[in-house]
Amino acid sequence: MNEAVDAAGREALWDRVGSSLEVAASILASGGLSDALVDFRDFLSRNELELAFDELVAIGDEQECTTEFWMILDSSARSMRLYSAALNVPHLTSADLCRRHVAAHAEALGG
Question: Is residue 57 within 8 Å of residue 73, measured between CB atoms?
Answer: yes
Whole-number Å distance between alpha carbons of 99 and 73: 9
Query: CA torsion, points 86, 40, 57, 30, in degrees to nearest 10?
Result: -150
Q: C-alpha distances in angstroms, 39 versus 50, 56, 63, 71, 89?
A: 12, 9, 17, 21, 24
- Angle between helix axes 2-28 and 38-45 (nearest 10 degrees) is 170
- Residue 73's pLDDT is what? 96
- Residue 95's pLDDT is what? 86
- Residue 90's pLDDT is what? 62
pLDDT digits (tens, 9 = 90+) for 38-63: 999 999 999 999 999 999 999 999 98
Task: Give the SS3 label for residue 90.
Answer: coil
**What's the pTM?**
0.83
Question: Is residue 46 within 8 Å of residue 17, measured between CB atoms?
Answer: no
Task: Quickly state the pLDDT bin for 10 (edges 50, 70, 90).
Answer: confident
Question: Does position 87 have pLDDT exceeding 70, yes or no?
Answer: no
Q: E strand or H helix at 67, and its extent? A: helix 67-79
Q: Which one has a higher pLDDT value, 21 or 83?
A: 21
